[in-house]
Amino acid sequence: MTIKIYVPLDSGSVALGADDVAKAIAAEAIKRDEDIKIIRNGSFGMYWLEPMIEVETPRGRLAYGPVAPEDVNSLFDAGFLKGGEHKRYLGHTQDIPFLKGQTRLTFQRCGIIDPVSLEDYRANDGLKGLENALKMTDAEIVKAVTDSGLRGRGGAGFPTGIKWNTVREAKGEQKYIVCNADEGDSGTFADRMIMEGEPFVLIEGMIIAGLATGATKGYVYTRSEYPTAIDVMNEAMEVARAAGVLGDNILGSGKTFDMEVRMGAGAYVCGEETSLLNSMEGKRGVVRAKPPLPALEGFMARPTVVNNVISLCSVPVILEKGAEYYRDFGMGRSRGTIPIQIAGNVKHGGLYETAFGLTLGEIVDQIGGGTASGRPVRAVQVGGPLGAYFPRSLFDTPFDYEEFAKRDGLIGHAGIVVFDDSVDLMKQARFAMEFCAIESCGKCTPCRIGAVRGVETVDKIAKGEEPEAQIELLHDLCDTMKFGSLCALGGFTPYPVLSALTHFPEDFKPHGLDIAAE
């Protein structure tokens, strides 16, 4: 009987050698005349164990990791095809504590299924949400999403149902669903992982969004840095089209929805929704003033839903199991689950989907296991390059939109970057300004000029030129950027800068900055 072996196609896993491992297993199997089938699946998101391979046995799926090509020979010797003991043996995949502790609603099939097998997807309850949605009116679908409490997972946290309702009520011959997959925040990779590991859930979520709002065309705008995600999405869309899931007769309902993937070109600011729309239209990725809201005048000046990947991927489970089921997870006004991405200098880096409400300390120290370097954790940046640096004294902050806002931070796209005690927060503040200067679209002055002045000001502190006056100036500059910028790039760059200044003032003393500047 053919034995199924799973080796991730996930970019993170491939970056650690998964392709070579897959090749080595295939070659060794031929040599030993073993009947195997290698399935390239998504990652479960435990990157310290990648490349993590699994074997399907009568005892269930058993995992081995991290596996190097050099381990393959000994894995065969140890009888891994039957789940044999080996130094890389991890036991049942689902029993690995990091995975067992999670509540996987959005990522429920990621890693488990063959990403481009619609049969696998359906066999694991895929498309049930869409089937239910097809029996509902547009208003009922919107109500379910509104009642679930789902908020935009891209960072802004705007209620998804309310956005959908605006588009539903907008008049227009052609409406669009645009999926913002321009995941540029350092420390985040949830969008990439789900597009590579479970593309059908995004397709399903987008179709449901189309049914709810009357949009018949969808676009996924993603990054040129994500070639694998683009390939997997395109392949899955073809499969969905051939199976009548996409097209002009969705699951035989007579309803229409189709979609395309568009690739960005390395501009961080295109993650901002209006800049993204300009980019899709073939313009410079310059931010648009709001109003008009994209919901009313979005892509090609037509009513457009712009939602993050994870928001859209959370919709199928809401439609499958009901708004209440989803809403019952979480705390306060942050309902449901959030895929937290733990990255940087961390022992157990990866994706951890859980209900809102864990404290930052639990996430970093317990789930993440502290730093990879073994040194003490000094700071964590939450929410990407525009997120605040939190010191250990704020580790009791629960993971929740409002709780983070109360402490002058943001959860953003839920990425957490861990730094050990070798971090220089003045250097990080300088980088925040430098990054803003590199990526500014140039439309508004506080961002375009402010960021450049910000870098210069930090450099003056480093050189000891009136450091106290410069620190005051930096505060002032941050105020201007925060209140005067058109979008979150200039408006939120003050978060990392001010949090560094507030929580780590001891770093803002004259000293050399070891920088890799351009």
Partner 1 sequence: MSLSVTSEEVTTRVGAICDGLAGLEGPLLPILHEVQEEFGFIPEGALQTIAKKLNLSRAEVHGVASFYHDFRTEKPGRHVIKICRAEACQAMGADELGNHAKRKLKVDWSETTANHNVTLEPVFCLGLCACAPAAMVDGKVVGRVSKDRLDHILNEVES
Residues forming contacts to partner 1 in the complex (CB under 8 A) are 11-12, 14-16, 45, 47-48, 50, 183-189, 191-192, 223-227, 260, 262-268, 279-286, 299-300, 341-346, 349-351, 372, 381, 385, 415, 417-420, 423, 428, 431, 435, 438-439, 441, 514-516, 518
**SS3 assignment for 184-238:** CCCCCCHHHHHHHHCHHHHHHHHHHHHHHHCCCEEEEEECCCCHHHHHHHHHHHH
Work out the number of other CB atoms within 10 angstroms of the CB of residue 135.
9
Judged by beta carbon, residue 9 or residue 167, the one nearer partner 1 is: 9
C-beta closer to partner 1: residue 78 or 270: 270
In the complex, what is the shortest distance from the CB of residue 44 to partner 1, in angstroms, rounded to a whole number?
12
Nearest by Cα to 492 from 434, 424, 409: 409
> Nearest approach, Cβ of 247 to partner 1 (angstroms)?
18
E strands present in 345-491: 350-355, 377-382, 389-391, 415-420
Q: How far apart are CA 18 and CA 40, in angstroms?
A: 9
Cα dihedral 167/168/172/178 (nearest 10): 50
CB of 14 to partner 1, least distance (A): 6
CB of 343 to partner 1, least distance (A): 3
- Least spacing, CB of residue 349 vs partner 1, in Å: 3
Between 109 and 443, whose beta carbon lies closer to partner 1?
A: 443
* Nearest CB to partner 1, comparing residues 389 and 401: 389
- Residue 130 or 501: the one with the smaller Cβ distance to partner 1 is 501
List Cα–Cα distances, 12 to 53, 175, 179, 333, 373, in angstroms: 13, 35, 22, 33, 20
- Minimum distance of partner 1 from residue 168's CB (angstroms): 22
Instruction: Give the DSSP letter string of 246-276.
Output: SBSSGGGSS--BEEEEEE--S-GGGGSHHHH
Shortest distance, CB of residue 217 to partner 1, whole angstroms? 8
| Residue 408: count of CB within 10 angstroms of its CB | 15
Q: From the CB of 127, what's the least distance to partner 1, in Å?
A: 27
Q: How far is the CB of 109 from partner 1 (least distance, A)?
A: 20
Of the pair 174, 249, the CB lying nearest partner 1 is at 174
What radius of gyration, in Å, describes the C-alpha atoms of the chain?
24
**In the complex, minimum distance from the CB of residue 308 to partner 1, in angstroms, rounded to a whole number:** 14
| C-alpha to C-alpha distance for 326 and 323, rounded to whole angstroms | 5
Residue 351 · residue 422 · CB < 8 Å: no
* Side-by-side strand order, sheet with 3-6: 36-39, 3-6, 53-57, 60-64, 89-92
Q: Which residue has the tokens 């953003």?
A: 412
Are residues 305 and 219 in contact, defined by beta-carbon separation less than 8 angstroms?
Answer: no
Alpha-carbon span 158 to 204, nearest angstrom? 21
Whether 314 and 150 have beta carbons less than 8 Å apart is answered as: yes
| Closer Cβ to partner 1, 80 or 257, answer by number | 257
Q: How far is the CB of 266 from partner 1 (least distance, A)?
A: 4
Q: Which is nearer to partner 1, 97 or 244 (CB)?
A: 97
Q: Which is nearer to partner 1, 18 or 142 (CB)?
A: 18
Which tokens in the block code for residue 166?
A: 């605006």
Closest to partner 1 by CB, 64 or 419: 419
Q: Which is nearer to partner 1, 226 or 326 (CB)?
A: 226
Question: Do residues 486 and 447 touch, judged by C-beta distance below 8 A?
Answer: yes
The DSSP code sequence of 291-319 is: SSPTTTS-GGGS-EEEEEHHHHHHHHHHH
